Structure 1
Amino acid sequence: MSQNGNGTAGGMRWFRADLHIHTPASEDYAEPDITFLDILQEAERRGLDIIAFTDHNTVHGYELMRQEIEFLQTLERQQRITQEEQSRLNEYRRLLARISVLPGFEFTSHYGAHILGIFAPDRPISLIEATLLQLGVPPDLLKKGACSIADTRHVTDAYEIIHRAGGIVIAPHANGPNGVITETLRMGTSGQARVAATQHPALHALEFINFYTDHEKFTSPTFYNGKTEHYERRMFCIQGSDAHRLRRVNAGEGNGWHRHGIGDRYVEFLLPSPTFAALKELFASHDFDRVRVPKRDQKQWEIDTLRFGAHNDRQALRPESAIDTLWQDVAALANVGGGTLIISGTGAELTGVEHPEQLSETLRRSVQERLTPHPYLTFELIGYEGRDLLRVEVRATESPPYVGSNGVIYTRQGGETVIADRTEIIQLCRRALAEGAATPLDNGQDLDLPRSGVEIVEAQKRAGVWLYEVRDLRTTSGVTRDHAQGLWAYAISRYEDVREGRIDLQSQVKWKGRLGLWRAYRQGNRTKYDLVHRDANGVIDHIFFGVSDWGLSPSWQALIGDRASDTLEHEPRSFGDDAPGDPDVFEEPVNGAAPWGDRRPRWRGRGGVWRIGRDAQGKVYFDLIMRSKEGNEVKEYPGVPREKLTEAWMNLIRVPRPRTGIEVVEIIVDEFGERRFVFRNLRTGELSNAPWRLQDIEEGTVRQYAARMALQDMPLDESRVRWWGNLGYMRPMRKQVDLVYRDENGIDHIYYAARRDELSGEWRELLDEYGEL
């Protein structure tokens, strides 16, 4: 039987379902401007036959969709419907004839475990809300989609209440956060309580995350096969997407627990029809063979992201018909450090590869003949939705640039392969110099090494991870950024800034002969130096990080002595030193400073942004301005709604994040009322693996500073910000500054402790506008 719902057996067929989908009615939905038509269209694109709207402690999402459809039907009956409204109504009819949409909710029980209640489409909304009231959801929160609600019913009580109300009862993400299995393990309750939470007669199914990779006791689907002592009831085990957005995003782009999109984790049921009644009849039976959970690997997720997600400069999807230009994609991927090329058809339908062996050989020969140097290629044929695709992994084994036989250098930009411009070529060459092997000294003498600090001797990229040879005069070892600590982490971070072209090293060094002082900074009660050495050709061949005074030889001391009057920086303890008891200090703003602010327009060409705000109903509006062609007249456009903005205006409003500082992405209040913080390191773009408690954050670090300031800053007081359109700054310090970005959705992002000397683009222009540089 087919995997996509086309197979039949005894009058039945396989239907694809996702019974755990959120809508903007949930307060933590990642894309609040998404419409219900968007959700249904994405469900159709993913081949789903049955979906359930399961918003947090509310059925309001399903209710809003029904209200929209009923309003359009009323307009149609009264012959008052516009062409655009008729088109939406027709699309709703088409999609609802194709997809069964079930109303439901995700209830938060007394100790925080979640429970799905799913109902028939003809069940009145008022009766479903009456069930939520029985479960303990306060009347004033019935429409709010709140994630956390106090004093609700316990897990097993909730099972029975939902079951008596005629609903299907599912324990979602049972082995994940806020799951019934995880809750019993966390609470340390008895085995009897764990049995009740997973074997209760009113519970229809358990939903698992990491369905095929989690094999621990209590947390694996195979544990509930009816053969485990005290767990004699065999359970239906399924998976659901828990989608809080339309399409999946990669790690680091969203909350780690809300990265999946609609249909990413689906289940298939063998049913006579895709209805609630058929589904409930199955869950009441013992026909476990009528449920199957398809297994998908990371490479298939990768293709999903390429097809439906945001642009990615490290991945490319190309048709087999483009064989003559595929070598250019390989060159571009090599020039950005490596990536993957997927070869098949493009668009909504992938055609697959007809002659993979021939295609592989042709591409390999084309790269050998047309590209210098030659990147390392690996070819793999992978299955995707019943088709064979060719996955080509491109590894950059030598420093860039990789140059085509036509003399052109290609790179990746906005998800496309393009010809590199002059600036990009310079950056590639600088990166090559930064990655190059050490140049021998022309006098044949050994380099006078400092006696403290560390040096990055070599960097290699293996399986997508940079490995570094770090010399600290005691040992040399291969480490990654994730495993480095203290001074090693600091050295790797600064080294990567040079390699990626984020810092122009040559312009920042003070030279004395071949010895150079890059940076001198104060760390607690110690002075540290970043030092460089250049060979006879003027090429930097050694960089030493975090050298202490006592580690300087006479020649280095002479260099430092000449710069003794230079002002010292203060280094925040985000990296710190590995010396015990080193009392590093973060540069704090002056306490008690009076509020201050200003607002100036931010121009690009003739268009300008004055303000982004929200009206009394919370809807985002834009105050825009426009110069005349002659430049002598300015026209104002106040209160422009988002849907009226062209792409040109959106490109003006959108500004990339700075590559320095820390962002507090989210402040979570857990079931115990304790605040937890999710951070983004702007240098790497990575999110913290798990939310931090304030008391667990090391004293004096940038992370602690960002957490404390975030509690003080949100919601943002605009009188404390100096605005340049939708960009701003506050609390300027000597070496750092706190930056503000208000995005196209009216959401404020604060970037704490951004280093002034590393700012570029609009962020540098912002400070220049106010004379802060």
Structure 2
Amino acid sequence: MTTTGEERNEMRWIRVDLHLHTPASEDYAEPNVSYLDILQEAERRGLEIIAFTDHNTVTGYEQFQRELEFLTTLEKAGRLTSEEAARLAEYRRLLEKITVLPGFEFTSHFGAHILGIFPPNRPLSLIEATLLQLGIPAEVLKHGVCSVANTRHVTEAYEIIHRAGGIVIAAHANGPNGVITETLRMGTSGQARVAVTQSPYLHALEFINFYTDHEKFTSPGFYNGKTEHYERRMFCIQGSDAHRLRRLAEAEAQVTHRHGIGDRYFEALLPDRSFEALKALFSSQDFDRVRVPKRDQKQWSLDVARFSGSTERQVLRAVNDPSATASLWPDVAALANIGGGVLIIGCDPGGKVIGVDRPDQATESLRQSVAEHLTPQPYLSFELMHYEGRDVIRVEVKAQDPPPYVGSNGAVYIRRDNETVVANRSEIIQLCRQAIAAGEPSPLDNGETLELPRSGVEIVSSQRRGGSWSYEVRDLRTTAGVTRDRAQGLWAYAISRHEDLREGRIDLQSQVRWRGRLGLWRAYRQGARVKYDLVHRDQNGVIDHIFYGVSDWGLGEAWMSLLNEAGARIETDADDFDQEGTLDPTPPPDIEAWGERRVRWRGRGGIVRITLDPEGQPRFDLVMKDKDTGAIQEYNNVPREKLSEAWLALIRVPRPRTGIEVVNATRSEDGEWFYTFRNLRTGDVSSAPWRLQDIEPGTVREYAARMYHQDMPLDEEKVRWWGNIGYLRPMRSQVDLVYIDEQGVTHVYYAARRDELAGEWRELLQLYGE
């Protein structure tokens, strides 16, 4: 059924979020939030239809209704206090604008989640009866538990909810605990994937990463009715899955749920904001009456940026005077010198949005100042964004020429410790080396002066497109347009090493052993094979080729002579690119003698340790040197609120760019462990938890998961400490690192490569002679 043009003229676009949790869910992040808080935030985000969908319960909606009924009863009895009267009046005002629907998020037999949404006049006892029919035990019906064993299977649940009169939605279908993800993870048949996404009882598919996930089965575009075996076109929507009022910053987002109310919503063209109108739409073929606004993706990225603050490639400046933007050219220079980044004008690093007055003038002022002060000229892309009622300018800086970018004052600026600073001598040398290596692009050698290896890969060229790097990879063929997220195995390894070189994380020159113009960079073991990273330099001594992952059978006489003369020491491959690496089993020496602790100084201040008090709050043991006598004064058990920014800057240590971290480990009711990992090389956190049985034995992930249980809670006597950082289990090529942050949270970074450590992490090992 479709609507006529006349009927559509009587409709309007209504903003909808059908996936909101309340404190009735056991994993809700802010248990003190009230239902009035939730409605007020929904109003702020412009929502007109919302649903309370707590885990396997309708208790949240029930508590919301009980509060309204209680206030109404008091009003009728003339017993309302002034505060209660104001609260009831606010509820009524909001409910004149927002329709609140009862619902639940059901956990099916294999863990996939399903939303059931019902009309507000449906007795809650009938909705609870539906949950009982779905297999939720009566004893946990009011508890909002996330995991329940022995419930109904997905397709059975669809039919039960549908027959109960509900709207049936596959929750976050392409994300963790989604029906698509679960079928892919379990390796079930294509027939099963069709069933869970094409069931006649299913009204809609809810997606995360609506405009950025383009993989097979996981993109909304796959369900447009034109794919073989998926002929039923589906309504594709998104919902916030909010477990808090407002979105968390990325820097804080080690939790599973960081979105706030209305962060992800869709719009529906409806005659009114009723359940009946919404269900009629989902039962129709009017797919163009549902839209997912794309522009808000940028709003969300800005939301992340403002709360995560300034980082290595992101600078936030609280400048609202147009003329003052002229002073920001050093930030542009610093970003250009590290290959590019983003400057956001109108936000302070603490997340406060102050906006920019006269953004056109501010943009032109910065553009002229960069043209006047900076050589060469980077490419600047300006975007004006209206955010929370204010104008904010997002400036994307792209380095068109090799560094260094030099200021009119003769200074070369870089980003160090998330600040724009003048580069020191060694940093300038590194920038110049990059410029020399990139200054004369050479075509692939024709073989007359260089015998090419017959195995391995080479990165021929790279180009930044739309914020992502694209690579031309020479394998047995030349393949263009390879991005990191599409690359696997050796390609992914080559791209990662290439990015390390581009970003200056590795000093290649110091690591190569040369024989004439041929060089051996690295020899490592991958499984049962030994592979080599090889380099070639031109007649001017400039490295013009790097070959990754070459097997010795693919080498000619000259290359074999290099390997024989260089005496290659074979390393263990612990990199986390394709998870094929194994680990050096060397145990730490003299573990009984560990537990040593040394002060980590910066200037006159030093950090000794961080502990937690009985309430779980961090406490800091600090020391200070007298500037005249050098005498040391101790300050023990200092609370965080007493620390200045200078002390916090000492305490904060950037994560290493190598290794892997177990961000979270949870155990289901049936005893199965699930792990979330952070790849420290990319900073990416796995989008879905890994089951232990899915992790390949002998990989870095398996090692990290296994050692995590041995290490947590951390025994500080097994660590060699330098203030609040330390290490344990040093191996020949890798080391496990420990960091306690300013919140008192312990992080263990497993299998960090020694040769890639920098800053405090390198100094830590040098301090102990490692």
TM-score (norm 2): 0.70
Match of 1:637 in 2: 637
- In 1, the alpha carbon distance for the partners of 2:33 and 2:574 equals 44
Using the TM superposition, give the Cα deviation of residue 217 of structure 1 relative to its aligned residue in structure 2, in angstroms. Answer: 10
Using the TM superposition, give the Cα deviation of residue 622 of structure 1 relative to its aligned residue in structure 2, in angstroms. Answer: 2.2
- In 2, the alpha carbon distance for the partners of 1:171 and 1:487 equals 36
Q: Which moves more between the two structures, 281-290 or 620-629?
A: 281-290
Change (3 A) 1:283 1:646: farther
Indicate conservation of the 8 Å contact 2:250/2:307, yes or no.
Answer: no
What's the CA shift string for 1:632-652, capped at 9, x where partnerless?
A: 4434318x5x67766555544
- In 1, the alpha carbon distance for the partners of 2:275 and 2:508 equals 66
- In 1, the alpha carbon distance for the partners of 2:415 and 2:136 equals 50
Match of 1:762 in 2: 760
Q: Secondary structure at the match of 1:665?
A: strand
Indicate conservation of the 8 Å contact 2:736/2:751, yes or no.
Answer: yes
Indicate conservation of the 8 Å contact 1:56/1:105, yes or no.
Answer: yes
- In 2, the alpha carbon distance for the partners of 1:218 and 1:453 equals 34
Q: Secondary structure at the match of 1:762?
A: helix
Match of 1:753 in 2: 751
Q: Any residues of structure 2 matched to 1:455-474 within 5 Å, and which? A: 456=458, 458-463=460-465, 464-468=467-471
- In 2, the alpha carbon distance for the partners of 1:58 and 1:112 equals 16
Q: Does 1:321 align with 2:322?
A: yes
Using the TM superposition, give the Cα deviation of residue 61 of structure 1 relative to its aligned residue in structure 2, in angstroms. Answer: 7.3
- In 2, the alpha carbon distance for the partners of 1:588 and 1:376 equals 48
Q: Secondary structure at the match of 2:262?
A: coil
Alignment-mate amino acid for residue 461 of structure 2: A
- In 2, the alpha carbon distance for the partners of 1:536 and 1:182 equals 53
Q: Does 1:18 align with 2:14?
A: no
Using the TM superposition, give the Cα deviation of residue 305 of structure 1 relative to its aligned residue in structure 2, in angstroms. Answer: 3.5
Using the TM superposition, give the Cα deviation of residue 241 of structure 1 relative to its aligned residue in structure 2, in angstroms. Answer: 1.2
Indicate conservation of the 8 Å contact 2:220/2:236, yes or no.
Answer: no
Match of 2:678 in 1: 680
> How large is the RMSD of aligned CA atoms in angstroms?
6.2
Change (3 A) 1:608 1:44: farther
- In 2, the alpha carbon distance for the partners of 1:135 and 1:501 equals 56
What's the CA shift string for 1:712-740, capped at 9, x where partnerless?
A: 55565666545555434332212211223
- In 2, the alpha carbon distance for the partners of 1:451 and 1:175 equals 41
Match of 1:402 in 2: 405
Alignment-mate amino acid for residue 571 of structure 2: E
Alignment-mate amino acid for residue 432 of structure 2: C
Change (3 A) 1:272 1:302: same
Indicate conservation of the 8 Å contact 1:58/1:142, yes or no.
Answer: yes
Match of 1:3 in 2: none
Q: Secondary structure at the match of 2:707?
A: helix
Indicate conservation of the 8 Å contact 2:306/2:347, yes or no.
Answer: no
Alignment-mate amino acid for residue 621 of structure 1: Q
Indicate conservation of the 8 Å contact 1:342/1:390, yes or no.
Answer: yes
Q: Secondary structure at the match of 2:617?
A: strand
- In 1, the alpha carbon distance for the partners of 2:539 and 2:219 equals 62
Indicate conservation of the 8 Å contact 1:306/1:312, yes or no.
Answer: no
Alignment-mate amino acid for residue 625 of structure 1: D
- In 2, the alpha carbon distance for the partners of 1:49 and 1:97 equals 13
| Alignment: residue pair count | 718
Change (3 A) 1:172 1:543: closer
Using the TM superposition, give the Cα deviation of residue 754 of structure 1 relative to its aligned residue in structure 2, in angstroms. Answer: 0.9
Q: Does 1:587 align with 2:587?
A: no
Q: Does 1:338 align with 2:340?
A: yes
Using the TM superposition, give the Cα deviation of residue 766 of structure 1 relative to its aligned residue in structure 2, in angstroms. Answer: 3.8
Using the TM superposition, give the Cα deviation of residue 337 of structure 1 relative to its aligned residue in structure 2, in angstroms. Answer: 1.6
Q: Does 1:622 align with 2:626?
A: no
Q: Any residues of structure 2 matched to 1:206-225 within 5 Å, and which? A: 207=206
- In 1, the alpha carbon distance for the partners of 2:642 and 2:252 equals 31
Q: Any residues of structure 2 matched to 1:267-282 within 5 Å, and which? A: 267-268=266-267, 279-280=274-275, 282=277
Using the TM superposition, give the Cα deviation of residue 149 of structure 1 relative to its aligned residue in structure 2, in angstroms. Answer: 1.0
Q: Does 1:371 align with 2:387?
A: no
Q: Secondary structure at the match of 1:732?
A: coil
Alignment-mate amino acid for residue 146 of structure 2: C
Using the TM superposition, give the Cα deviation of residue 400 of structure 1 relative to its aligned residue in structure 2, in angstroms. Answer: 1.1
Change (3 A) 1:591 1:644: closer
Match of 1:4 in 2: none
What's the CA shift string for 1:666-709, capped at 9, x where partnerless?
A: 45778997655543322222345665555655554334433443
- In 2, the alpha carbon distance for the partners of 1:456 and 1:655 equals 34
- In 2, the alpha carbon distance for the partners of 1:138 and 1:661 equals 43
Indicate conservation of the 8 Å contact 2:322/2:357, yes or no.
Answer: no
Match of 2:150 in 1: 151
Match of 1:740 in 2: 738
Alignment-mate amino acid for residue 463 of structure 2: K
Indicate conservation of the 8 Å contact 1:111/1:671, yes or no.
Answer: no
- In 2, the alpha carbon distance for the partners of 1:196 and 1:567 equals 56
Q: Secondary structure at the match of 1:588?
A: coil
Change (3 A) 1:341 1:729: closer
- In 2, the alpha carbon distance for the partners of 1:685 and 1:500 equals 14
Indicate conservation of the 8 Å contact 1:248/1:259, yes or no.
Answer: yes
Q: Does 1:500 align with 2:503?
A: yes
Indicate conservation of the 8 Å contact 1:607/1:626, yes or no.
Answer: yes
Match of 1:56 in 2: 55
- In 2, the alpha carbon distance for the partners of 1:434 and 1:252 equals 38
Indicate conservation of the 8 Å contact 1:624/1:637, yes or no.
Answer: yes
Q: Which moves more between the two structures, 535-544 or 489-498?
A: 535-544
Alignment-mate amino acid for residue 624 of structure 1: F
- In 2, the alpha carbon distance for the partners of 1:609 and 1:63 equals 51
Alignment-mate amino acid for residue 151 of structure 1: N
Change (3 A) 1:389 1:456: same
Say which of 553, 557, 561 aligns to 2:561.
557
Q: Secondary structure at the match of 1:296?
A: coil
Match of 1:77 in 2: none
Match of 2:78 in 1: none
Match of 1:72 in 2: none
Match of 1:706 in 2: 704
- In 2, the alpha carbon distance for the partners of 1:710 and 1:122 equals 49
Q: Any residues of structure 2 matched to 1:168-247 within 5 Å, and which? A: 172-173=171-172, 178=177, 199=201, 207=206, 239-244=238-243, 246-247=246-247
In structure 2, stretches of 5+ residues that fail to align are: 1-8, 69-81
Alignment-mate amino acid for residue 627 of structure 1: V
- In 1, the alpha carbon distance for the partners of 2:341 and 2:459 equals 25
Q: Secondary structure at the match of 2:403?
A: coil
Say which of 421, 432, 435 aligns to 1:432.
435
Q: Any residues of structure 2 matched to 1:475-624 within 5 Å, and which? A: 477-478=479-480, 479-484=482-487, 487-509=490-512, 517-521=520-524, 530=533, 540=543, 543=546, 545=548, 551=555, 553=557, 557=561, 560-561=564-565, 564=567, 568-572=570-574, 586-590=583-587, 598=595, 600=597, 603-604=600-601, 605-606=604-605, 608-613=607-612, 615=614, 619-624=615-620
Change (3 A) 1:746 1:282: farther
Q: Which moves more between the two structures, 257-266 or 166-175?
A: 166-175
Change (3 A) 1:53 1:660: same
Alignment-mate amino acid for residue 459 of structure 1: S
Using the TM superposition, give the Cα deviation of residue 659 of structure 1 relative to its aligned residue in structure 2, in angstroms. Answer: 0.9
Indicate conservation of the 8 Å contact 1:660/1:758, yes or no.
Answer: yes
Change (3 A) 1:113 1:437: same
Alignment-mate amino acid for residue 322 of structure 2: S
Using the TM superposition, give the Cα deviation of residue 150 of structure 1 relative to its aligned residue in structure 2, in angstroms. Answer: 0.7
Using the TM superposition, give the Cα deviation of residue 375 of structure 1 relative to its aligned residue in structure 2, in angstroms. Answer: 2.8
Q: Secondary structure at the match of 1:302?
A: helix
Change (3 A) 1:480 1:553: farther
Q: Which moves more between the two structures, 417-426 or 118-127?
A: 118-127
Indicate conservation of the 8 Å contact 1:337/1:395, yes or no.
Answer: yes
Alignment-mate amino acid for residue 620 of structure 1: G
- In 2, the alpha carbon distance for the partners of 1:488 and 1:166 equals 51
